[in-house]
């Protein structure tokens, strides 16, 4: 059986969309520590540059470009640049996302569309554009989804719809790309500490304690937990896994997280964040 060693992914190429921060940067560090070369894209060049510098300082080999996942030609160009620099891409991680709290009647159609475009269309763009640059057979494609894909959540109609689409896209592409030797899976993280999302969801010690009280394992996860699962999906230990939506959430999807009845709705949202 394989063990996770620093050289487990030596010689492999990983392309990570949304890789300049949060869970996705954590995945980048995990794959880099296992020996993979890392190419990241994100919207803001200063964040991309900082993430690349951080990965290199940790001993990884990394490059990055400022690209919005809603821009298909831009995504395709970044994938092509990665391929030209290093060769066939072994790992794709599509994790760019946007979100905010708003009741459906309090958000504009444009606000709803923005989340759909970043999360769902962005995931399609990354996965679709990657195909010609993948190592076939052998590539592992991973999307980052969320529990909202299957668990309806207050003030999250946009995110729930987008993540549900990502789950079904994962399964459809697993069917279509399996004969080429490409595995397509998704990871649904639960509450992860030291992330922007959890800082917004539980901004006080009291709200944090309340959320932890309904998580079966009693605590938030760490970015390393998601990175380790992504690493597993990139190895031969997962060679017979495709079309799977894998929860890494401490069991939180088994519990009802949030109020049983709607609290006072947040102020109407007119923008994308």
Give the residue among 75, 42, 49 at the shortest CA–CA distance from 63: 49
Torsion of CA 25, 27, 33, 37, to 10 degrees: -80
Q: Is residue 115 part of a domain?
A: yes
What's the total number of domains in the chain?
Answer: 1
Say what the pLDDT of residue 184 is.
Answer: 99
Q: Is residue 92 part of a domain?
A: yes
The CATH number of the domain holding residue 199 is 3.40.50.720
Residue 220 domain boundaries: 13-248
Say what the pLDDT of residue 107 is.
Answer: 96
**Residues lower than pLDDT 70 in the chain:** 1-6, 256-273
Q: Is residue 138 part of a domain?
A: yes
Say what the pLDDT of residue 68 is.
Answer: 98
Whole-angstrom Cα distance, residue 50 to residue 55? 9
pTM of the model: 0.91
**In this predicted model, what pLDDT tens digit does every residue of 82-111 receive, in sequence order?**
999 999 999 999 999 998 889 999 999 999
Q: Is residue 254 part of a domain?
A: no
Residue 25 near residue 51, CB atoms below 8 Å:
yes
Say what the pLDDT of residue 200 is.
Answer: 74
Q: Is residue 98 part of a domain?
A: yes
C-alpha distance from residue 42 to each of 12, 63, 165, 173 (Å): 21, 12, 21, 24
Say what the pLDDT of residue 255 is.
Answer: 77
Other CB atoms within 10 Å distance of the CB of residue 261? 6
Q: Is residue 3 part of a domain?
A: no
Q: Is residue 244 part of a domain?
A: yes
């Amino acid at each position: 059986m394989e063990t996770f060693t620093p050289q487990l992914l030596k010689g492999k190429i990983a392309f990570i969309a949304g890789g300049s921060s949060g869970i996705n940067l954590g995945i980048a560090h995990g794959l880099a520590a296992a020996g993979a070369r890392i190419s990241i894209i994100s919207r803001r060049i200063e964040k991309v540059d900082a993430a690349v510098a951080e990965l290199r300082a940790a001993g990884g080999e990394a490059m990055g470009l400022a690209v919005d996942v809603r821009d298909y030609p831009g995504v395709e160009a970044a994938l092509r640049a990665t391929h030209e620099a290093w060769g066939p891409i072994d790992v794709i991680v599509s994790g760019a996302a946007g979100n905010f709290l708003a009741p459906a009647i309090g958000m504009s159609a444009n606000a709803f569309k923005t989340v759909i475009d970043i999360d769902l269309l962005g995931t399609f763009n990354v996965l679709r554009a990657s195909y010609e640059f993948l190592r076939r057979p052998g590539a592992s494609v991973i999307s980052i989804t969320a529990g909202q894909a299957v668990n309806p959540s207050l003030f999250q109609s946009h995110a729930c719809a987008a993540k549900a689409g990502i789950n079904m896209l994962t399964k459809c592409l697993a069917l279509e790309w399996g004969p080429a030797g490409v595995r397509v899976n998704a990871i649904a993280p639960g509450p992860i500490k030291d992330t922007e999302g959890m800082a917004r969801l539980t901004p006080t010690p009291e709200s944090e304690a309340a959320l932890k009280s309904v998580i079966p394992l009693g605590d938030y996860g760490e970015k390393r937990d998601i990175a380790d699962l992504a690493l597993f999906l990139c190895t031969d230990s997962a060679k017979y896994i495709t079309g799977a939506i894998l929860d890494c959430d401490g069991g939180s999807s088994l519990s009802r997280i949030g109020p049983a009845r709607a609290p006072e709705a947040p102020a109407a949202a007119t923008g994308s964040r």
